[in-house]
Structure formats: structure tokens, C-alpha cells
Amino acid sequence: MNRRQPSPSDEDQEAEDRVVAEACKGDQRAFERLYRAHAGWVFGLCLRLTGDSGHAQDCTQEAFVAAWRALPTFERRSRFSSWLHRIAVNGVLSHRRRARGRQLFSAEEHVEELEALAAVEDTPGGIDLERAIARLPQGARDVLVLVGVYGYSHDEAAGMLGIAAGTSKAQLHRARSLLSSQLASGPVSI
């Protein structure tokens, strides 16, 4: 159930590297191409982390604004998509901190948004799984989305979330246990 962008071919990666280099120099058209290529993936990540399409759209927009501003400092030690995903995760976490005291991210109230996202997936039971993910406690959901869905390592997810790798592992175990109990069809393998 890995939702990370597929690894591009060497030829595709070279083409994207050229577009990234142009965007780093301030070329807005190049950045628009990067936006079109990555906006869907960033939105999906934000939607799964927030459980709300409006907040996910805000976080997606904020991620691209932040990426545009930070592009001159992008050192290309990682793929652009990995760098952008980390900016998006940081944006979601920042959005949460700003909203402290209000219940901004209530995934259960927005299950229909996640169902729509799941409908795009070609996996049997995808809607039930998305609904169950939306109902997870925030910490367990965050780790499940980053590690179980997007394929980040526990160390990477822990770094993004500001937790220990052991906590990430415990949260993933908790998420899997909660998902198993939520889904009528039995244990979930993520």
C-alpha cells in the first residue's frame, strides 16, 4: 500500500532535475511544471494527515509557497519529491500548532473526503481502510500515513514528526492494532 510517487526512470529523473534547476534559478514556468507533477501527491499526503480536504488544500498551497521560497537553498541531496513531502508534513504540523485550542483536524467528520480519495484507489476495501485510518488517533495516523502508506522509514518519519524512532514504531504498532479491531474483514497488512 505504498503511495510514494513511483521512482522515475533515469531519463525522467534527468528531465525533472533540469526543471528543478531552472526553478531554483527563479523560473516560474519550471516551478509550475513541478507543481503540476507533484500537487496530487502532496494533496493526498495532506488529506491523509488532516482528514479534511479544505485543510489539505491549505496545507498543499502552503507547502508549495514554502517550497518556492526555499528552492534557492535546495541542495538536491534528495529527490525533489522527498524534499517537498517533508515540507508538506512540516506544514501540516505547523498548521496544527497554529490551530491549538480549536478542533481543526477532525478526520471522523470528513470521512467522505477520504472515501473519495479511496475511490480513486483500485484496492478492494479501500474505502473501509480510509475510513478506519481517518478514525485513528492523530499520532498513530501520522506514523501510519508516513511509514505504512508513504513508505518512509521510522527514522525519517520520527524526524518529520519530532518524535523518537521507537515512538514511531510503537505508534505504527498501535495504528495496526486499532485498524485490525476497526475493520470487520480482519487484520490489516500495511
Which structural domain, as residue segments, surrounds residue 154? 112-184
Distance CA(125)–CA(104), nearest Å, equals 28
Q: Same structural domain for residues 119 and 78?
A: no
Q: What is the dihedral of CA 172, 177, 181, 182, to 10 degrees?
A: 0
Residue after which a domain boundary falls, among 69, 100, 131: 100
- Does residue 54 sit within a domain? yes
Number of alpha carbons in the 13 Å side-chain half-sphere of residue 55: 26
- Long-range CB pairs of 157-162, under 8 A, 24+ apart, other chains included: 160/86, 160/89, 160/90, 160/93, 161/89, 161/93, 162/93
Distance CA(42)–CA(86), nearest Å, equals 10
Q: How far is it between the farthest Cα atoms of the chain? A: 52
- Does residue 91 sit within a domain? yes
pLDDT in tens, 37-85: 999 999 999 988 988 888 899 999 999 999 999 998 898 888 898 899 8
What is the average pLDDT value for the chain, to the nearest integer? Answer: 81
pTM value is: 0.70
